Amino acid sequence: MSQSKLRAAVPGYDLRASLQDSPLRIDPGEIFSIPTTVFVALDPGYALFVHSRSGLARLGVVVAHGVGVVDSDYRGEVRVLLRNLSEKPIFITNRERIAQAVIQKIETPTWVRVESLDETGRGDGGFGSTGRS
C-alpha cells in the first residue's frame, strides 16, 4: 500500500485523494467517489475497511455509507465515497488524507438456528441500555 502510516501503533493507513482537478468542491448533501490510486489484491480471509478520518468528520465530511468494505475477491482501485453533511461547501485537495484503511482478518462462523438464546444480565437491551457513564 503506497499510502502512509503515521505511527507503528496506529492500525490504519491514510488514504489520500488522487485528483487531477484540484481542489474538488463538495457541496452540502453531495456525495463524491474519490480515487486514491491504491489498488488491492487481498489474501482470502482478509478484508479492508475504509473509515472516516476524525479531521474531516469534525467538518461534517464522512465516508458516505458509514464504513466501506473491500472484500478479498475485489481487484482494483480503492475509491472513497465522501458525503458532505455540513451546511457549507468543502474542498478536497490532491493528496489530502481523506479516509483510513484498516485490514482485518475475517472469521467465518458457522450459523446455527436455535429455538431460544441463553439468558444474560443484559438480555436484549441495546442502544444505550447499559447507561451513559
CATH number of the domain bearing residue 24: 2.70.40.10
pLDDT at 83: 97
pLDDT at 2: 46
pLDDT at 30: 97
Q: Strands 68-70 and 46-52: what pairing? A: antiparallel
pLDDT at 63: 95
48 in any annotated domain: yes
Name residues of the chain where pLDDT drops below 70. Answer: 1-10, 128-133
Domain assignment of residue 41, given as a range: 13-105
114 in any annotated domain: no
Cell of 15: 488514504
pLDDT at 1: 47
5 in any annotated domain: no
pLDDT at 127: 72
pLDDT at 131: 66
Domain count, the chain: 1
For residue 52, give the nearest of 15, 24, 9, 92 by alpha carbon. Answer: 15
What pTM does this model have?
Answer: 0.79
